[in-house]
Amino acid sequence: MRRIKTAIIGQGRSGRDIHGRYLKTDNRYDVCAIVDELSVRRDIAAKEWTCPIYARYEDLFGSEDLDLVVNASFSHQHAPITADLLQHGFHVINEKPAASTAAEVRHLDQTAKENQKVLAFFQQSRFAPYYEQIKSVLASGKLGRIVQISLKFNGFARRWDWQCSRSFQGGSLFNTGPHPLDQALDLIDFKTEGIQIFCQMDQANTFGDAEDYVKLVMRGQDIPLIDLEISSCDAYADQLYHIQGTRGGLKGTMTSLNWRYFKTEEAPVQKLITSSLQTKDGLPMYCGEKLSWYDESWATEDARVFTDAVGRFYDHVYQAVTMDKPLPITAGQIEKQLHVIETCHEQNQK
């Protein structure tokens, strides 16, 4: 079995606690270098890894012992550092947000192709167990035609780190947004041509100058209405997903889903009546019928929500690097995601 020689740029919440933690468990990958500009994090990394530790990512250049670099730098550094790494002959995993604009994503894609390198965008939530279960329910057709898909990545929190600063490409839409937005666009098969976008942003509980409240609505022909929220001022956040269909609906969180539906062939036959509805005694009445509902559910352990998604992502990266298999998450999809984000920011310029 070929082992992919890997370097990780960044030892923060993503580089250390997500990528580093996972890569220690996957023997298909061999972490051969760690990079972080902070000396205290380099000291910690030296105790946790038996590999060279660097202060600058440029120190990786010229190395013949590296295949893949995980770019978990600051958000505003993702696109320029990734482009530099590709030009220096590395395959790259680019953390979210992939870039600041759709044009930057196109540039990264072109750079990867010119250098014949794999460029993987870290959108692991596409492979989350709950999301794959939602897609399975929708594909079954049990809920009928889907009218509205609501996603709420909400909570109540005050925040004061660099993710609150526009100068670091912070804000909820760039930080949290790529996950639910990727799922939402995937559920409509990335049919963004002619789509209408409305977005309202606010600074609710942040101590920076970037948004921490986002309401994003997308609608278009032959697609369900998409209602996406990312809020830091929702004290009653409970459901992550709420889907409405013509024969039923679905609700749930990352660890528990419930859906109910009726079967058309078992429902009473109805037709339009334009005269006043009344009982056999002539009294006024409302429409009313008894439907036989079918209730189903799904649940998983908290740990699986994240670990399974990250593992599936790295499965695809391994196959892309060693077997030249195409990645399921494409640059074209990420470009459409960044177009939506750009539009949202344009609508909320101050």
pLDDT (0 to 100) of residue 234: 93
Query: In terms of Cα–Cα distance, which of 330, 343, 329, 292 is closest to 101?
Result: 343
Q: Going from the N-terminus, what domains does the chain have, and what CATH number goes with each?
A: 4-122 (3.40.50.720), 126-304+332-347 (3.30.360.10)
Cα–chain center distance at 30 = 26
* Separation between Cα atoms, residue 102 and residue 75, nearest integer Å: 15
User: Omega into 328 within 30° of 0, i.e. cis?
Assistant: no
pLDDT (0 to 100) of residue 280: 85
Predicted confidence pLDDT, tens digits, the chain (350 residues) = 899 999 999 999 999 999 999 999 999 999 999 999 999 999 999 999 999 999 999 999 988 889 999 999 999 999 999 999 999 999 999 999 999 999 999 999 999 999 999 999 999 999 999 999 999 999 999 999 999 999 999 999 999 998 999 999 899 999 999 999 999 999 999 999 899 999 999 999 999 999 999 999 999 999 999 999 999 999 998 889 999 999 999 999 999 999 999 999 999 998 988 888 888 888 888 888 899 999 999 999 887 888 899 999 999 999 999 999 999 999 999 999 999 999 999 999 86
Question: Beta strand pairing status for 29-35 and 53-54?
Answer: parallel
Q: Looking at the chain, how many residues does it have?
A: 350
Q: For 68-101, how does the pLDDT look when each residue is reduced to its tens digit (9 = 90+)? A: 999 999 999 999 999 999 999 999 999 999 999 9
pLDDT (0 to 100) of residue 18: 96
Contact call for residues 36 and 11 (beta carbons, < 8 A): yes
In the three-class reduction of DSSP (H, G, I as helix; E, B as strand; rest coil), residue 54 is classed as: strand
* Separation between Cα atoms, residue 128 and residue 34, nearest integer Å: 27
pLDDT (0 to 100) of residue 162: 85
pLDDT (0 to 100) of residue 278: 86
Residue 60 in tokens: 């990786």
pLDDT (0 to 100) of residue 34: 98
pLDDT (0 to 100) of residue 274: 87
User: What is the pTM (predicted TM-score) of this model?
Assistant: 0.93
CA-CA distances (angstroms) from residue 260 to 22, 80, 139, 196, 248?
36, 47, 15, 30, 5
CA-CA distances (angstroms) from residue 51 to 7, 41, 44, 85?
10, 14, 12, 20
